[in-house]
Amino acid sequence: MVNPPGDLPNASTSPVLCFVHIPKTAGTTLNAILIRQYGIRNIFVLSRHRPNRLPESFAQLRERKRNRYRVLKGHFPYGFHEVLNRPYLYMTLFRNPVDRVISHYHYVSRSEKHYFHQKIDGELPELRTYIESGVVSETHNGQTHMIIGSLHRKPDEDMTELAKQTLREKFAIVGTAERFDESLLVMRAILGWKIPFYISLNVTKNKPKRSQIDSDTLALIEKYNQTDLELYKLADQRLDELLQEHVPFAKIQLFLFRLGNRLYSQFFKLSRNFPDLLKTRIDEDFFVRVETK
């Protein structure tokens, strides 16, 4: 399906991995894995908030520099492949919409530098009012909007079908945060990765469980995320299909991967007690750490 990027001597002819990073879907951990697989200098991070990180800015780079990049990624909706003059493939991770909205709210509420933090700190102090206001598009079918590339359309049946069609036909790799390890096995098989061991990053601390949220608020989240709920089910189905197609003996591979990842995590914790010089060398060779938020 896709030539393994690690086996291609000429990066300018290999498919560019376009990672649509939907917020609060284990993307920070996956970003650290991408750095290990491709190298940070070969990854172009897209951002709406930085003019030099827009897709148009990427298109204006000199061809030699542009062709160096193996990955385009960011909190950016589908469609940024239009600035590429090379083959590409899309990848994304989904998360249960109810859990994602709860996590998003509590992440923003404790992140003073987040651009929506003042809303929560001032006029929208509760989860329910945060959702009802509609000020934050993330709480109203936010995952769907990232897939169809339109952040401000009102959800309707046509949008649902468009999102499903886009996910089926335009995304080569689809995974879920709840089945993160299985998603990694698919990525490794399709992209030709080294074993993607990892340490979980950017986990929202002290976040209340769904069981601690009142039923009316949970129903409200579901009301405003009907399309996301349908798309999440489809993403789960696509993951099953990709596992069957690309990962033989998936259950055995999953068991062995999780066993290896536990050892990897234990080694990381043990290495924190090493002298600084040795610890730095080990981090460079075995770990990529990003600042948790």
pLDDT tens digits for range 55-111: 999 999 999 999 999 999 999 999 999 999 899 999 999 999 999 999 888 877 776
Provide the pLDDT for residue 7.
40
Provide the pLDDT for residue 292.
37
φ/ψ region of 156 (left if φ > 0, alpha if ψ in -120 to 50, else beta) reads beta
Q: Domain 5-95+156-205+226-247: give its CATH code.
A: 3.40.50.300
Residue 145 class from Cβ within 10 Å (0-12 exposed, 13-18 middle, 19+ buried)? Answer: buried
CB 133 within 8 A of CB 124: yes
Enumerate the β-bridge partners of residue 72: 18, 44
Interaxial angle between packed helices 276-286 and 250-271, expressed in degrees from 0 to 180 and rounded to the nearest 10: 160
What is this structure's pTM? 0.86
**Higher per-residue confidence, 80 vs 210:** 80
Provide the pLDDT for residue 130.
81
Question: Could you write out the three-class secondary structure of 256-267?
Answer: HHHHHHHHHHHH
Closest CA to 76 of 99, 98, 61, 57: 57
Strand positions, DSSP E, 153-208: 171-176
CA distance 236 to 30: 18
CB 92 within 8 A of CB 174: yes
CA distance 205 to 209: 11
Q: Give mean pLDDT, residues 141-168.
A: 80
CB 34 within 8 A of CB 73: yes
Q: Give mean pLDDT, residues 162-181.
A: 96
Both structure tokens of 80: 């940024």
Where b means 16+ CB within 10 Å and e means fewer, 82-104 reads ebbeeebbbbbbbbbbbbbbbbb
